[in-house]
C-alpha cells in the first residue's frame, strides 16, 4: 500500500494544477500566477486572497485555505513571501486547497 503524499487531497479538499504560460511546465520565468495569499487575523492558516487569470478561477476562490503547494505542506514555507516567490518563479503551480473553510 502506497504512503499518501502531501499532494493527495483529503475528503473535502481538492487538487488544482495549472501552467501559467500554457507551455510544457519546464520554463522558470518570473510571471504573475494570478494568486496571492494572506494570514487571517487570529488564525494560523494561509488563505488565497487573490485569484485572477492565469489561475483557474473555476477551481480556486478567494478564501480557500491552502494546504500544500508544489509538493510541500504550506507550513514548511518560511513565510508568505516564500509562497509568493513560488507562485511567481514556477511555471506549473500545484495546490491542495480546502474550499470549505470560509463558506
The pLDDT score that the predictor gives to residue 13 is: 94
Q: Does residue 55 form part of some domain? A: yes
Domain count, the chain: 1
CATH of the domain at 68: 2.30.42.10
CA dihedral 57→68→19→12, nearest 10 degrees, is: -40
For residue 12, the cross-strand partners are none
The pLDDT score that the predictor gives to residue 74 is: 93
**95 within 8 A of 68, measured Cβ to Cβ:** yes
pLDDT digits (tens, 9 = 90+) for 16-39: 999 887 665 555 567 888 999 999
Average pLDDT of 81-100? 90
Q: Does residue 7 form part of some domain? A: no
Q: Does residue 1 form part of some domain? A: no
pLDDT at 92 over 90: no
- Structural domain that includes position 19: 14-98
pLDDT at 78 over 90: no
The pLDDT score that the predictor gives to residue 101 is: 55
Amino acid at each position: 500500500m502506497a504512503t499518501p503524499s502531501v499532494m493527495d487531497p483529503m475528503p473535502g479538499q481538492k487538487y488544482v494544477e495549472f501552467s501559467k504560460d500554457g507551455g510544457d511546465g519546464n520554463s522558470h520565468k518570473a510571471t504573475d500566477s494570478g494568486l496571492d495569499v494572506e494570514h487571517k487575523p487570529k488564525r494560523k492558516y494561509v488563505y488565497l486572497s487573490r485569484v485572477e487569470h492565469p489561475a483557474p478561477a473555476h477551481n480556486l476562490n478567494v478564501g480557500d485555505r491552502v494546504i500544500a503547494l508544489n509538493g510541500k505542506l504550506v507550513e514548511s514555507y518560511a513565510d508568505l513571501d516564500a509562497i509568493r516567490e513560488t507562485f511567481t518563479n514556477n511555471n506549473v503551480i500545484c495546490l491542495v486547497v480546502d474550499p470549505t473553510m470560509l463558506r
